[in-house]
Amino acid sequence: MEESLAFKLSAPLPLPTLKNTLTQQIISKVCSDLVCDKRPLIQSPEDPQLFHNDHLAKIIDVDTFTSQFCEEMSRFANQNSVLYQEFMQNKENITLLQILEQGDAHLSKIDEMVNRQKNDFVMDIANLQDRIMVAIQSIKEENIKKLDSFNEQYKQSFINLKTKIDQFFLLSKQNFYYSNQNTFQYKLASLDTPEAQQFLSNLKSHINKSKLLSQGNATPLQMLTELQTLARFVMQMTNSPPNYNKIQNLQNNFLDSLVNEVGFVLNNTISQRMFIPFGCSKELTQILTGENNLQLQLPTRNIDNFLLKPTKKFSIGTQITCILSISDQLFAIGSQNDSQLRMFDSTNKKISTFQAHNQNIVSLEKLHNNENNSRQFVSLGLDMQIIVWNIDDIIVSTQPRVFRKIQIQQMGISIIDLKDSTHIAFSDVHKDVNICNIYSQKIGTCNTNSLSKINGLTLLKKGEKFLSYSQDSIINIWRLTKYGSSQDPILICDQTLNDPLFGSISQIFIATQWPGHCIIASYEGSVKFFDLNRNCIVFSKFGNRKVQSNQMESILIEVSDQQSNPPIWLITFSFTDNIATQHHLSMAPYAMHSQDIKMGHQLSVQQSQGKHKVQIFNQQNGNGKAFTTMVMFSSDTTDELMIYELKGN
Write down the pLDDT at residue 467.
92
| pLDDT tens sequence across 358-384 | 899 999 998 887 665 678 899 999 999
Write down the pLDDT at residue 363.
92
What DSSP designation does 518 have?
E
> What's the rounded mean pLDDT across residues 98-107?
61
**Looking at the predicted structure, is the pLDDT value of residue 59 above 90?**
no
- Between 161-170, 243-252, 330-339, 551-560, the lowest mean confidence (pLDDT) is in 243-252
More confident residue, 461 or 219: 461
Write down the pLDDT at residue 469.
92
DSSP states along 312-356: EEEE-SS-EEEEEESSSSEEEEEESS-S-EEEEETTTTEEEEE--
- Dihedral over Cα of 607, 608, 610, 615: its sign: positive
How many Cα atoms are found within 13 Å in the side-chain-facing hemisphere of 409? 12
> What's the rounded mean pLDDT across residues 201-207?
49
pLDDT band at 80; cut points 50, 70, 90 = low
> What's the rounded mean pLDDT across residues 223-231?
49
> What's the rounded mean pLDDT across residues 516-533?
82
More confident residue, 548 or 515: 515
pLDDT band at 576; cut points 50, 70, 90 = low
Which residue from 597, 599, 602, 576 is spatially nearest to 524, judged by alpha carbons? Answer: 576
Judge whether 368 and 357 are in contact, CB under 8 Å: no
Write down the pLDDT at residue 69.
67
Report d(CA 415, CA 393) in Å as an integer: 22
More confident residue, 202 or 572: 572
What DSSP designation does 215 have?
T
Judge whether 583 and 537 are in contact, CB under 8 Å: no
- Angle among Cα 33, 38, 39 to the nearest 5 degrees reads 45
Write down the pLDDT at residue 550.
57
- Angle among Cα 506, 509, 511 to the nearest 5 degrees reads 160
Judge whether 514 and 488 are in contact, CB under 8 Å: no
Write down the pLDDT at residue 427.
92
H helices present in 430-496, as ranges: none
**Looking at the predicted structure, is the pLDDT value of residue 215 above 80?**
no
Centre a 10 Å sphere on the Cβ of residue 376 and count the other Cβ atoms it contains: 22
Centre a 10 Å sphere on the Cβ of residue 91 and count the other Cβ atoms it contains: 15
Judge whether 509 and 556 are in contact, CB under 8 Å: yes
Cβ neighbours of residue 114 closer than 8 Å, sequence gap 6 or more: none
Cβ neighbours of residue 393 closer than 8 Å, sequence gap 6 or more: 400, 401, 403
pLDDT band at 434; cut points 50, 70, 90 = very high
The sheet that has 376-381: what strands, in order across it? Answer: 361-367, 376-381, 385-390, 402-407
Which residue from 140, 162, 146, 168 is spatially nearest to 225, judged by alpha carbons? Answer: 168
Please state the domain extents for the chain: 5-101, 125-289
pLDDT band at 433; cut points 50, 70, 90 = very high
- Distances from the Cα of 385 to the Cα of 398, 430, 455, angstroms: 22, 16, 20
More confident residue, 218 or 523: 523
- Dihedral over Cα of 642, 571, 299, 171: its sign: positive
> What's the rounded mean pLDDT across residues 318-341?
86
More confident residue, 582 or 73: 582
> What's the rounded mean pLDDT across residues 544-568?
57
**Looking at the predicted structure, is the pLDDT value of residue 283 above 80?**
no
How many Cα atoms are found within 13 Å in the side-chain-facing hemisphere of 635? 19
Which letter, b or e, does each residue of 541-570 get, where b requires 16 or more Cβ atoms within 10 Å of its Cβ? bebeeebbbebbbbbbbeeeeeeeeebbbb
Query: H or E element: which one contains 519?
Result: strand 517-522
- Average pLDDT over the chain reads 67
Q: Considering all CA atoms of the chain, what is the largest pairwise distance in Å, rounded to the nearest integer?
A: 148
Report d(CA 172, CA 167) in Å as an integer: 9
Cβ neighbours of residue 554 closer than 8 Å, sequence gap 6 or more: 506, 507, 509, 521, 570, 571, 572, 573, 614
- Angle among Cα 230, 231, 234 to the nearest 5 degrees reads 85
| pLDDT tens sequence across 464-505 | 899 999 888 889 999 988 776 667 888 888 888 888 778 888
DSSP states along 226-263: HHHHHHHHHHHHHHSSTTGGG-S-GGG-HHHHHHHHHH
More confident residue, 400 or 435: 435
Max mean pLDDT range (116-130, 177-191, 534-548): 116-130
Write down the pLDDT at residue 58.
67
Write down the pLDDT at residue 458.
92
Write down the pLDDT at residue 435.
92
- Between 31-35, 314-318, 631-635, the lowest mean confidence (pLDDT) is in 31-35
Write down the pLDDT at residue 385.
93
